[in-house]
Amino acid sequence: MQFVVTSDTLIMLCSCPSHAIARQLAEQMVAEGWSACVQIVPGITSIYQWQGKVCQESEVLLVIKTATDVITTLTQWLIEAHPYDVPEVITIPISGGSQMYLDWLLSNSAGVKQSG
């Protein structure tokens, strides 16, 4: 298995208030071709500052694998589609990985709706 160093791929993190919303967002991102894969991680607890108070909420985390070429479109859509006033939209560059996996990720994050 070949390892490659890349700057063309990203992981995006986004917390959601429920599994239903997370699934809806994830399905849309994959259907639109903005992400090759979205993992839904249930059962997280977020503790954060909001409007001068410390808050605690149960949330679901989206781990979104995508390409840098679609990140602007994906980020804009996610902010508009998300129910939070200020949704978490954070990107982390993937510095390297399996050549086969990263090639698959890029080919499925081209921003083109998948035929089905």
pLDDT at 116: 42
Q: Which residue type sits at 115?
A: S
pLDDT at 1: 63
Containing structural domain, residue 61: 3-107
pLDDT at 115: 45
112 domain residue, yes or no: no
Q: Distance (Å, rounded) from C-alpha 45 to C-alpha 23? A: 18
Question: Considering just the CA atoms, what is the radius of gyration of the chain in Å?
Answer: 15
Question: Percent of the chain, pLDDT > 90?
Answer: 86
24 domain residue, yes or no: yes
How many distinct structural domains can be found in the chain? 1
Q: Which of 41-45, 71-75, 76-80, 107-111 has the lowest mean pLDDT?
A: 107-111
33 domain residue, yes or no: yes
Please tell me what DSSP assigns to residue 71: H
pLDDT at 39: 98
Residues 6+ apart with CB under 8 A from 45: 56, 57, 58, 59
Q: Check whether 106 has a pLDDT greater than 70.
A: yes
100 domain residue, yes or no: yes
What are the pLDDT digits (tens) for 28-55?
999 999 999 999 999 999 999 999 999 9
Q: Which CATH number fits the domain that encloses residue 22?
A: 3.30.70.120
58 domain residue, yes or no: yes
User: Which residue do the tokens 């589609």 mark?
Assistant: 81
Average pLDDT over residues 55-71: 96
Q: Check whether 5 has a pLDDT greater than 60.
A: yes
114 domain residue, yes or no: no
Pair 8, 101: CB distance under 8 Å: no
Average pLDDT over residues 53-66: 97
